[in-house]
Structure 1
């Protein structure tokens, strides 16, 4: 068999492939390092939640210990913090906020996207302008209104304002422009479908990945919200998880069982981790679908 010598183009092609492999190896190494760095804090939190207060005072350890269930029982039965009540309150507020934010923002985006009316551009610009205003700017006036209406220690002031979510609206509007052809809406109208039926039965299934993404983000944002709930909730049976964590931060740690404290923090972030683990595929799918035009 006759062998042919390598040409210059062959050498350049081989060098290009080598550089590509090296670049990929470097990128993967950096990604692995960042992943380990991000997960290490969660692992360390889990390890500390398995240790007793005496073991935590003794020093740093990387291996789990045998006090996980003891710390869980002590944290769950602590009447001064009341983890079950905090988890229940946070879950109710977060899930209702996520549903209302996602649905009404999608409905508003559908109205701006599908209808051609006078003032449409102004409405779109106005909503974007509202998006630039930090929520803390109107917090004082909002709290005063809530106190005048005697709605403190009530979930409604924390849930109903979530209907107006300019950031979610903007994401849904951009997603609809990329994935929702108006011909489908027109065809539904020709078949006799009314506007709400078209939105609920045709549009919502099409934009399901975007709905899932925004539902996750809204749920997590509401779960971690501390600023407004801390101003409106002062009864123990109404407090959310972030408020209880803040109480732990302001307490005297020398008088606390640190194993129980770490267990409480672990229980506080566990629902968020579960949401991300089981619904992360919707985030990837929504980003990919929203990035494809037409």
Structure 2
């Protein structure tokens, strides 16, 4: 029996290692190609890096300011992640804890909004921002993203299964107001779920291409995906190494953020299960 369990464990770990290697290879190829010139890339893949990294960087820098786009994407993505996490948690708290008229209708409406592609309202969104005078600013990229139906739905379901009503009653008996209850009782309980959703919110905002392309006009305000779009359509596309380098700069930070935060998400969920 023990031998069978040991064999199954070895088999599972072997499959996981193989899947991890398969997932990492495309990113490794991208990083390696960023250090090679056209001739080397066309000849085929190599596991060893090339010597053209500096030349590729200089070629790319002649056409786009990649670090300005990096900074712009970071400003937008961090703002969206923080604001979406907080206000979605606040909304989920309201749906999970309070009973009010029209609650079920609003929640159903929110679920329906999850199924509507954002691209359908892009023209109306553009006209609205034109009237408000918010075109060529980061306001259209940050403020609408705060209202995330999926994040609210996920946090509401998580809170409904983890927050016991007795905790709320005890806090109210101690004289705590509703906002204080949210910040001191509900929000700490929701933190594993908020952290989980924050990763996907950050990645979604970082990779957002259509909306910044529509509402931003000044090159110095372009986010990284928009700059990558122009990079692919410029003469830099003839230099495959520079193109790979630009893509690597835009992708590697997401990989690092995901690997870093996922560890804390797992530990938070494990800690929550032990406390329960």
**Contact (CA 8 Å) 1:213, 1:283: kept in 2 or not?**
yes
How far apart, CA to CA, are the structure 1 residues paired with 2:211 and 2:195? 25
Alignment correspondent of 1:142: 125
Whether the 8 Å CA contact 1:97–1:218 is kept in 2: the answer is yes
Matching residue of 1:164: 147
Tell me, in whole angstroms, the C-alpha distance in 1 between the residues paired with 2:272 and 2:217.
42
Q: What's the secondary structure of 1:207's corresponding residue?
A: helix
- Tell me which of 221, 225, 229 is aligned to 1:242: 225
Helix, strand or coil: the match of 2:49?
coil
Contact 2:34–2:248 (8 Å) recurs in 1: yes
Q: Which residue of 2 aligns with 1:46?
A: 31
2:50 to 65, 69, 73: 65
Between structure 1 and structure 2, the one with the greater Rg is: 1
Aligned to 1:9: none
Q: Whole-Å Cα distance in 1 between the matches of residues 6 and 254 of structure 2?
A: 37
**How far apart are residue 68 of structure 1 and its match?**
3.1
* Deviation larger for 130-139 or 217-226: 130-139
| 2: CA distance, partners of 1:60 / 1:173 | 47
* Aligned residues: CA RMSD: 2.4
Q: 1:252/1:68 Cα in 2 relative to 1: closer, same or farther (>3 Å)?
A: closer
* Aligned-residue offset at 1:23: 4.4
Question: 1:98, CA displacement in angstroms?
Answer: 0.6
| Aligned counterparts of 1:291 and 1:138: Cα–Cα separation in 2 | 41
The match for 1:261 among 203, 226, 243 is 243
Work out whether residues 153 and 233 of structure 1, in 8 Å CA contact, stay in contact via their aligned partners in 2: yes
Pairing of 1:83-94 with structure 2 (within 5 A): 83-94=66-77
- Asked if the contact 2:63–2:236 (Cα under 8 Å) also holds between the matched residues in 1, the reply is no
1:144/1:290 Cα in 2 relative to 1: closer, same or farther (>3 Å)? farther
Whole-Å separation in 2 of the counterparts to 1:266 and 1:117: 49
2:161 & 2:66 partners in 1: Cα distance? 43
Correspondence for 1:284 among 241, 266, 272: 266
Q: TM-score, structure 2 length as denominator?
A: 0.90
Gaps of 5+ in 1: 1-13
**1:193 matches 2:140:** no
**Conserved 8 A contact 1:178-1:290:** no
C-alpha distance in 1 between matches for 2:8 and 2:259: 29
**Paired residue total:** 276
CA distance in 2, matches of 1:128, 1:287: 26
Provide the residue aligned with 1:112 in structure 2. Answer: 95
Q: Does 1:82 align with 2:42?
A: no
